[in-house]
């Protein structure tokens, strides 16, 4: 029986336990120093506090101090922590990762190095390993329209595994598949990793459109549709500029993931607050009070810097990314005007 160790006991880490356990793997779930209360609940047989679903039967739980034990003999390691924690957890788990056959990555975001250079997460992990003189296995980027609670409950789910080596993607797509957790394989790691954080940024804009309806009493579905269209276009353009396949953004990582994130989730809820009339600062403060992390907020600024550093020639083709950053920075201009100017077609 193959062994998989999932690093991070949050919603996505715990949700992933269900399909891989049902696929016949031995599953170990390791919690960081921030996850003790989550491990407590699962050990007590309660539903996971984030997904509201009991952990899959047979999953072995490990606390922060037991990292080496959790990694011992693992065939696959999964990085499933918030993007800001990826560098630290990578360093902590590096020896165990190096002995595995693959590193799966469900974390989503951008990663600045010590010099301020923004990297996609797979490249950041490879850089850390190289600096430490450690060779790591192939990385499999995992993205797509996966709500953690539905995945944990065993509801029908489509996802995508992206690795530079297509045969590695296919291998794990076959081995982790169940009747309801169905996996597409691709060699477009870059395209998958661009869509993963960018959909969180653009989900804020979709939420703003929904918030405008709540705030005014009149729907803004037309604006939301135009925003969705522009978001997918920008994800594809950004990916292509970095060597990704244009169609990746029009598949599960882009269209699929933005659809589900725009329907629910913290980034959408944050956008709704802004659309209803709260300032970006007020809305974020309330989300933080509720212990709801809005990953699209830091991702928006990092994405803009990433564009400036790596593909500045397409900056003017990303008006929605600019608009979201403008709103997050604080402005007296109505948000409906800012979004509209970014997504509605210009005079031909």
Specify the pairing of strand 139-143 against strand 60-62: unpaired
Buried b (16+ CB within 10 A) or exposed e, 267-289: bbbbbbbbbbebebeebbeebee
Grade residue 114 by pLDDT with cuts at 50, 70 and 90: confident
Helix ranges, 242-295 (H): 257-263, 266-276, 280-289
**Which tokens belong to 322?**
């600019």
pLDDT tens, residue by residue, 74-96: 999 999 999 999 999 999 999 99
**Domain 190-343 part of CATH 1.10.1040.10:** yes
Using CA atoms, how far apart are residues 50 and 212, in angstroms rounded to an integer? Answer: 28
Q: Please indicate whether the domains covering 3-187 and 190-343 agree at the CATH topology level.
A: no
Choose among 272, 237, 269, 276: nearest CA to 254: 237
Instruction: Answer yes or no: are the C-beta atoms of 185 and 169 closer than 8 Å.
Output: yes
Choose among 22, 30, 9: nearest CA to 58: 22
Using CA atoms, how far apart are residues 158 and 128, in angstroms rounded to an integer? Answer: 31
Q: Looking at the predicted structure, is the pLDDT value of residue 290 above 90?
A: no
- The topology (CATH level 3) of 3-187 is Rossmann fold (3.40.50)
Choose among 227, 230, 251, 247: nearest CA to 239: 247
* Domain ranges for the chain: 3-187, 190-343
Grade residue 223 by pLDDT with cuts at 50, 70 and 90: very high
Q: Looking at the predicted structure, is the pLDDT value of residue 44 above 90?
A: yes
Amino acid 291: pLDDT: 76
Amino acid 18: pLDDT: 98
Amino acid 80: pLDDT: 97
Q: Looking at the predicted structure, is the pLDDT value of residue 194 above 80?
A: yes
Q: Long-range contact list for 219-225, CB < 8 A, 24+ apart? A: 220/336, 223/336, 223/339, 223/340, 223/343, 223/344, 224/262
Q: Stretch 218-229: mean pLDDT, rounded?
A: 97
Q: What is the mean pLDDT of the chain?
A: 96
Q: Looking at the predicted structure, is the pLDDT value of residue 176 above 90?
A: yes
**Which tokens belong to 19?**
């399909």
Grade residue 348 by pLDDT with cuts at 50, 70 and 90: confident
Amino acid 1: pLDDT: 85
Using CA atoms, how far apart are residues 303 and 14, in angstroms rounded to an integer? Answer: 28
Instruction: Return the SS3 of 93.
Output: helix
pLDDT tens, residue by residue, 47-62: 999 999 999 999 999 9
Query: What amino acid positions are annotated as catalytic residues?
Result: 199
Using CA atoms, how far apart are residues 109 and 135, in angstroms rounded to an integer? Answer: 23
For 115, other C-beta atoms within 10 Å of its C-beta total: 5
pLDDT tens, residue by residue, 115-125: 899 999 999 99
pTM of the predicted protein model: 0.94
């Amino acid at each position: 029986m193959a062994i998989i160790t999932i690093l991070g006991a949050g919603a996505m880490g715990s949700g992933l336990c269900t399909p891989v356990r049902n696929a016949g793997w031995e599953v170990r779930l390791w919690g960081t120093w921030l996850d003790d209360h989550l491990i407590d609940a699962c050990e007590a047989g309660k539903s996971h506090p984030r997904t509201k679903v009991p952990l899959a039967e047979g999953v072995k739980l490990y606390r922060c101090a037991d990292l080496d034990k959790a990694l011992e003999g693992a065939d696959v390691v999964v990085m499933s922590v918030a993007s800001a924690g990826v560098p630290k957890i990578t360093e902590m788990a590096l020896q165990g990762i190096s002995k595995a056959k693959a590193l799966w990555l469900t974390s989503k975001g951008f990663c600045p190095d010590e010099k301020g250079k923004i990297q996609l997460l797979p490249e950041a992990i490879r850089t850390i390993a190289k600096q430490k003189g450690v060779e790591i296995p192939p990385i499999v980027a995992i993205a797509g329209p996966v709500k953690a609670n539905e995945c944990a409950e065993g509801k029908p789910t489509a996802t995508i595994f992206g690795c530079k080596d297509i045969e590695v993607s296919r291998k794990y797509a076959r081995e982790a598949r169940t009747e309801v957790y169905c996996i597409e394989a691709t060699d477009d790691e870059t395209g998958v990793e661009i869509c993963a954080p960018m959909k969180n940024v653009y989900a804020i804009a979709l939420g703003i459109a929904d918030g405008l309806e709540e705030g005014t009493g009149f729907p803004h579905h037309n604006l939301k549709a135009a925003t969705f269209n522009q978001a997918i276009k920008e994800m594809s353009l950004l990916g292509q500029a970095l060597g990704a396949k244009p169609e990746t953004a029009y598949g599960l990582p882009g269209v699929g993931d933005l659809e589900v994130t725009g329907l629910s989730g913290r980034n959408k809820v944050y956008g709704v607050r802004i659309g209803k009339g709260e300032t970006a600062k007020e809305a974020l403060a309330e989300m933080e009070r509720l212990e709801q992390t809005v990953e699209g907020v830091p991702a928006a600024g990092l994405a803009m810097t990433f564009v400036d550093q790596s593909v500045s020639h397409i900056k003017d083709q990303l008006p929605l990314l600019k608009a979201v950053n403008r709103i997050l920075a604080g402005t007296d201009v109505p948000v409906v005007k800012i979004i509209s100017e970014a997504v509605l077609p210009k005079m031909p």
